[in-house]
Chains A and B, each alone.
Chain A
């Protein structure tokens, strides 16, 4: 056991050295269709990561990346996921933390690729010292960034075809749902709630872009001057905006539902509360930028459709 641990970095170092030679001769990019290693992936932050051979011991510290990896068919290559990666059910959840990553604990899984959403706690530097390649896939701001991450994970894991088909399916599913909703006569207003102190998400965020797909007007956009992404809205403003649709992404964290929202002071006058268009969604699905965004849209769409038909 001990021997194994000591020898691993040496092997990895040789691998990196070989890869460095290879990377110079054949310039591979994230958009390459066929997977041949070594592969170099340009991250959105400007850095690039080179993976010498197809990884079979992947550690994911990002719940979204975990969902993407399993969706594209790289699940069998994943040996450990962080304590927040609760989907899919067969993901090998561990006590590893993506918020406060412990380099030693990650290295103990002898990974040949680590995927995370943030470089917190010196993750990149620490794993770099151990010659473990790490790919950072930060929170996507729109669907295109999400598709790009799926492509990158496909290239990084050698599951390029899986990634392509997942992306294709997402695109067509989303298009079908959007097409099923009649053209609005008047723009409907939506309030997306992140917690029970009225934090919300503007159109500059991934979830905000999803509402834009449905041509909904996001009331949080009124507060972009103060907080471009996730403003805390005043109760007065929410009540006077009287959104037609309230989406509760705080059903798990804060146990909110139609009855708790109706009981809030002054909220009974809001259009969405009057017509009971208060939709509880899974906090996790609503806060991740993976393939399950289709499920999210599928939950919201019938309500939007109903409201559009009523308005027409």
Chain B
């Protein structure tokens, strides 16, 4: 535990000067743009929804709990309930999920030196789906200390899948370290998918709930979901942020990290564990949302720069903004019906990403 602490503190406190030279710091203008984008997305997300609530009513409702601004008499309790129990927690959860997935995606791309790496590369999604399917099929409707057992099982499944892939990948010799890991992840994901599909087919009574779980559950989000994921996401993002300089070193090569007197394998393990912890929590609540973990980090790389000191914090901000906007579209475009958020993220995200790719130097990837 204490050795882990030392490893963690090292990149922040005692990074050698050589590593800092020639690498850009976080450009403050872009950081500001990220914050503004997130604020804009959040304000828009709170203002628009399938139920029309006027700007004035939203402002009055939001100010009501504050002692001096509150004019409680003019607040409609129905609108207040929609804002506070449905719309705002969904915006907050969207920001957490988007920020986490983009950050984890960036971290995975750094660790594996692979532009196609996403947070589900080592089987997190397959593991979460298997865990949730097992819970739905064999322990329906049960809960553990007041919490529905399904997201817990999803979380455990995701963590186990990645742990399995990591353990398996380490035993592979003769390949580059990361290649062995990626292949192990692919194998684990395929294996877990096979079991999941088998259970799903043999337990057809639970098929509907399994599908709706896999498709994502931002639709039913509330504050309990926010509280459930927040601790894991905070720890995960904090650890990844601490390692952003080492991810820069790792992107050059394992030798670069080793020359700093730090084990590359250790860095990889810590970052993978941190990213998995956050991804597992997010997948357990929101289901698998593809694409965010890939396009956000790459858009940041193309527009700003490829140093992880830039990519990690900006991915966090723009990932959060992007998913809040996508979810706002998901619940308003076809209102009062919902569109699957994955449709929005891919439909809007893919063309946007192509435009960014064409208008910048793709070599930046």
List the interface of chain A (C-beta within 8 A of B).
83-84, 97, 99-100, 194-199, 222-223, 225-227, 231-237, 239-240, 242, 250, 252-255, 264-266, 269
Measured CB to CB, the nearest residue on chain A to B335 is A234
Contact (Cβ within 8 A) B204 A99: yes
Contact (Cβ within 8 A) B209 A233: no
Contact (Cβ within 8 A) A265 B86: yes
Listed A/B pairs (25) with beta-carbon separation below 8 Å: A83-B204, A196-B220, A197-B215, A197-B217, A197-B220, A198-B220, A222-B336, A232-B219, A234-B331, A234-B336, A235-B219, A236-B49, A236-B82, A236-B87, A236-B331, A237-B336, A239-B86, A253-B206, A255-B141, A264-B222, A265-B89, A265-B222, A265-B224, A269-B77, A269-B78
- Tell me how far the C-beta of B254 lies from the nearest C-beta in chain A, rounded to whole angstroms: 44
Contact (Cβ within 8 A) B85 A240: no
Nearest 8 interchain pairs by C-beta:
A226-B334, A255-B141, A237-B336, A265-B222, A226-B337, A266-B85, A223-B337, A231-B337
Contacts of B77 in A (CB 8 A): 269
Proximity bits, B192-226, A CB within 8 Å = 1, else 0: 00000000010011101100100101011011100
Contact (Cβ within 8 A) B223 A265: yes
Partner of B212, one of A84, A197, A223, A227: A197
Q: If A223-B336, A232-B337, A266-B82 touch, does A253 touch B222 (CB 8 Å cutoff)?
A: no
Report the bound CA distance from A231 to B86 in whole Å.
19
List the interface of chain B (C-beta within 8 A of A).
49-51, 77-78, 81-82, 85-87, 89, 140-141, 201, 204-206, 208-209, 212, 215, 217, 219-220, 222-224, 331, 334-339
Contacts of A83 in B (CB 8 A): 204
Measured CB to CB, the nearest residue on chain A to B141 is A255
Contact (Cβ within 8 A) A253 B205: yes
- Tell me how far the C-beta of A190 lies from the nearest C-beta in chain B, rounded to whole angstroms: 15
Partner of A196, one of B82, B212, B337: B212
Report the bound CA distance from A232 to B216 in whole Å.
12
Contacts of A237 in B (CB 8 A): 50-51, 335-336
Contact (Cβ within 8 A) A266 B334: no
- Tell me how far the C-beta of B216 lies from the nearest C-beta in chain A, rounded to whole angstroms: 9
Report the bound CA distance from A99 to B223 in whole Å.
38
Contact (Cβ within 8 A) A195 B334: no
Q: If A198-B219, A265-B223 touch, does A232 touch B338 (CB 8 Å cutoff)?
A: yes
Q: If A236-B331, A265-B223 touch, does A227 touch B337 (CB 8 Å cutoff)?
A: yes
Contacts of A239 in B (CB 8 A): 51, 78, 81-82, 86
- Not counting A195-B209, A266-B82, A266-B85, a sample of 19 additional A-B residue pairs whose C-beta atoms are within 8 angstroms of each other reads A83-B204, A100-B201, A195-B212, A196-B220, A197-B220, A225-B337, A226-B339, A231-B334, A232-B337, A233-B336, A234-B331, A236-B51, A237-B335, A239-B82, A240-B51, A253-B209, A255-B140, A255-B141, A269-B78
Report the bound CA distance from A196 to B210 in whole Å.
11
Contacts of A236 in B (CB 8 A): 49-51, 82, 86-87, 331, 336
Q: If A231-B337, A235-B219, A264-B222 touch, does A196 touch B87 (CB 8 Å cutoff)?
A: no
Contacts of B141 in A (CB 8 A): 254-255
Partner of A197, one of B219, B223, B224: B219
Main secondary structure of the interface of B (DSSP, over half): helix
Report the bound CA distance from A233 to B223 in whole Å.
20
Q: If A232-B337, A234-B331, A237-B335 touch, does A266 touch B212 (CB 8 Å cutoff)?
A: no
Report the bound CA distance from A198 to B338 in whole Å.
9
Contacts of B51 in A (CB 8 A): 234, 236-237, 239-240
Measured CB to CB, the nearest residue on chain A to B211 is A195
Which of B77, B85, B141 lies at the interface centre, i.e. has the most chain A CB atoms within 10 A of its CB? B85
Contact (Cβ within 8 A) A240 B78: yes
Report the bound CA distance from A196 to B151 in whole Å.
14
- Tell me how far the C-beta of B203 lies from the nearest C-beta in chain A, rounded to whole angstroms: 11
Report the bound CA distance from A252 to B50 in whole Å.
29
Contacts of B86 in A (CB 8 A): 235-236, 239, 265-266
Contacts of B338 in A (CB 8 A): 198, 231-234
Contact (Cβ within 8 A) A253 B49: no
- Tell me how far the C-beta of A108 lies from the nearest C-beta in chain B, rounded to whole angstroms: 20
Measured CB to CB, the nearest residue on chain B to A197 is B212
Measured CB to CB, the nearest residue on chain B to A227 is B337
Partner of A265, one of B85, B206, B212, B336: B85
Contacts of B339 in A (CB 8 A): 226
- Tell me how far the C-beta of B316 lies from the nearest C-beta in chain A, rounded to whole angstroms: 26
Measured CB to CB, the nearest residue on chain B to A198 is B219
Q: If A234-B219, A235-B219, A237-B51 touch, does A225 touch B78 (CB 8 Å cutoff)?
A: no
Contact (Cβ within 8 A) A269 B205: no
- Tell me how far the C-beta of A19 lies from the nearest C-beta in chain B, rounded to whole angstroms: 35
Measured CB to CB, the nearest residue on chain B to A260 is B141
Contact (Cβ within 8 A) A252 B205: yes
- Tell me how far the C-beta of B144 lies from the nearest C-beta in chain A, rounded to whole angstroms: 15
Report the bound CA distance from A45 to B7 in whole Å.
68
Contact (Cβ within 8 A) B50 A234: yes
Measured CB to CB, the nearest residue on chain B to A82 is B204
Measured CB to CB, the nearest residue on chain A to B332 is A234
- Tell me how far the C-beta of B320 lies from the nearest C-beta in chain A, rounded to whole angstroms: 21
Which of B89, B335, B338 lies at the interface centre, i.e. has the most chain A CB atoms within 10 A of its CB? B338
Report the bound CA distance from A222 to B77 in whole Å.
23
Contact (Cβ within 8 A) B220 A264: yes
Report the bound CA distance from A225 to B337 in whole Å.
9
Contacts of A194 in B (CB 8 A): 208
